[in-house]
Structure 1
Amino acid sequence: MERLSLSEEEAMRGFWKFGGGCIKEVMELLPVPRPPYTTLASTVRNLERKGYLSSRKLGNTYRFVPSITAEEYRRQHLGALVTDYFRGSYKELVLFLAQEQKISPDELQDIIDMTDSRRLRL
């Protein structure tokens, strides 16, 4: 699936939060200043065309449901980011974050501890 624009991601966050909904419901979740209703409607139709949403007519409105979970989207696009910018190495990504001071040694240790505890449960 193709990468989403910022406005498309914002709209999808609303649909993911509720597990689906109408454009009006998602509009209320968007940051101020909110786009015009017609702009959001176009964005939603693009998301449907791209396969991220499916719709069902309810009376004179449509209810949209995500076709992909937020977790699936993150997994796909994080993988692409790592492939494109870090030679496919998650280790390189973590090293970059540490060098840029975006993650502290304590946070890295917490991640190691969490990983070790998950391994023990498997």
Structure 2
Amino acid sequence: MEELTKAEERIMQVFWKLQHAFVKDVIEELDESPKPPYNTISSIVRILEKKGYLSYKTYGKTYQYFPVMSKQDYGKQSFRKFFSNYFDNSAASLLSFMVKEKELSKADLEEIKEIIKQNS
């Protein structure tokens, strides 16, 4: 599937939360003030539908949209791309980065060790 822009991803977050929504429901859910114009959000929703992230049910001239891809599946897809692009698919590179840059606590490191033990 095509990658999402930041604006598209923000709208998908609303759909993952609501599961089924009309464009007006999405606008109401956004924290922005003033609220974005209906046509702007409607355009983004139609793009998401064309990209295959949303589908819809028709009620007369109104469309109720729902996610086709789960938030979890999108997260996996995004992480795989991120992992490949920035860490060359190397778990050691990722963990090294996390330890150096994130300043993991001893408790975090112990939790990582336990996860490794359980999955090896």
Give the TM-score normalised by the residue count of structure 2.
Answer: 0.86
Which residue of 2 is the match for residue 60 of structure 1?
61
Superposition pairs for residues 49-88 of structure 1, below 5 Å? Answer: 49-88=50-89
What residue ranges of structure 1 are gaps of 5+ in the alignment? Answer: none
CA distance in 2, matches of 1:38, 1:2: 22
CA distance in 1, matches of 2:42, 2:50: 12
Amino acid at match of 1:80: K
Query: How large is the Cα RMSD of the aligned pairs?
Result: 2.0
CA distance in 1, matches of 2:41, 2:7: 8
Amino acid at match of 2:43: S
Question: 1:39: how far off?
Answer: 0.5
Question: 1:80: how far off?
Answer: 0.5
Amino acid at match of 2:94: L
The count of aligned residue pairs is 119
Give the TM-score normalised by the residue count of structure 1.
Answer: 0.85
CA distance in 2, matches of 1:102, 1:19: 36
* Secondary structure at 2:65 match in 1: strand
What residue ranges of structure 2 are gaps of 5+ in the alignment? Answer: none
Cα gap change, 1:99 to 1:32, in 2 (>3 Å): same
List, as ranges, runs of 4+ consecutive aligned residues in structure 1 with deviation greater than 4 Å.
Answer: 114-117
